[in-house]
Amino acid sequence: MKFSTVNKIPLLLALLVQICILSNRNGVMGLQAVESPPETSSGTEEGTTETAAETAATEATPEAENEATPAEEEPAAEESREVEPVQEGPLIDIFGEKLYSFEFLDETTGQINPHYTNEALAGKKVIGLYFSADWCGPCRQFTPELASFYERMNKKRGKKDQFEIVWISRCRDGNSYSQYFAQMPWLALPPEEAMGARGQQLGDKYKVKSIPSLVLIDDLGNTITIQARDKIPQDKAGVGFPWRDPISQLIHTLVPRSLRALIRTQIQSLKRGVVGKLKALVGLGPKATATAA
């Protein structure tokens, strides 16, 4: 079947229309295919940004917590610090607030430990002040004898652990202090106190003229005897220990401790008042004389 040229024109037009329609469809699809990646990319970037922000916030949180931790721990550290107790009483007036003890860590090594005076002397009925030094021959000879006596008295029935000694060092330096202290089972005044003003004051108070010297006092600070050094060789078994004189022994036996403490406080207060008045009078004398002149 043959078609004329005129008949072919409508067919050609129809084909062109179909081609245009198909071209438009492919163009739209192509545009959509090209444009969709940026949308996906944009969404990915936003997600990445959010994730990075969350990660940064997560990483920053421990640092912030770590920075806050020291501030929170400081009060706990302050609370953990030991608060020194307030100490008072006649024994504090005599020895001060701290005493030392010597502890062996092994056969060749030892250490000096500090103690609060009232805690170290709690329950002690008799306290000895032992004036001694390493350079003194009689002291080195008497110290082992005193150590044996000390142990016997503290094992005595009915008087267990009621006797304590405080060493008042007359050593010349800290090294000799430590070496000599290692031979003693009792307490000691700190070296700076013993070899300083307090040690000198105690020596004057108890009339220590030579060493070794052993003074015994009771738990109220009252003097029992200043001649215990001579008593021990005469009474090694400690039958008469602590060798109170008859009047003191009678008072100690009959008068309750609380009343003895009250009497001692009143006597000391009276002494301070008298001494204060005497100082005031002595102080006023020169001024009055100078004014009159």
All structural domains of the chain with their residue ranges: 90-266
Q: How many residues does the chain have?
A: 293
Nearest residue to 213 via CA among 179, 255, 166, 245? 166
Indicate the average pLDDT of the chain: 78
Tell me whether strands 110-116 and 98-104 are parallel, antiparallel or unpaired.
Answer: antiparallel
pTM, rounded to two decimals: 0.64
User: What pLDDT digit, counting tens, does each position of 34-56 carry?
Assistant: 444 444 444 444 444 444 445 44
CB atoms within 10 A of CB 97: 17
Instruction: Provide CB contacts within 8 A for 156, sequence distance 6+.
Output: 238
User: What pLDDT digit, counting tens, does each position of 137-181 carry?
Assistant: 999 999 999 999 999 999 988 888 899 999 999 999 999 999 999
Q: What is the DSSP string of 42-89?
A: HHHHHHHHHHHHHHHHHHHHHHHHHHHHHHHHHHHHHHHSPPPPP--S
Q: Report the alpha-carbon distance of residue 17 to residue 23 in Å, rounded.
A: 10
User: What pLDDT digit, counting tens, does each position of 120-132 carry?
Assistant: 999 999 999 999 9
Cα torsion through 26, 28, 33, 37, rounded to 10: 160
pLDDT at 45: 43
The larger pLDDT score, comparing residue 66 to residue 159, is at 159
User: What pLDDT digit, counting tens, does each position of 181-222 carry?
Assistant: 999 999 999 999 999 999 999 999 999 999 999 999 999 999
Element housing 106 (H / E): none
pLDDT at 247: 81
Q: Domain 90-266 classified CATH 3.40.30.10?
A: yes
Instruction: Provide CB contacts within 8 A for 117, sequence distance 6+.
Output: 87, 91, 92, 95, 96, 97, 98, 99
Residue 260 burial by Cβ neighbours in a 10 Å radius (0-12, 13-18, 19+):
middle
Residue 110 one-letter amino acid: G
User: What pLDDT digit, counting tens, does each position of 2-27 carry?
Assistant: 445 445 555 555 665 565 555 555 54
- For the segment 82-98, the average pLDDT, to the nearest whole number, is 90
Nearest residue to 150 via CA among 238, 212, 220? 238
Q: Is the sign of the CA dihedral 240, 161, 214, 250 positive or negative?
A: negative
Q: Report the alpha-carbon distance of residue 20 to residue 39 in Å, rounded.
A: 29
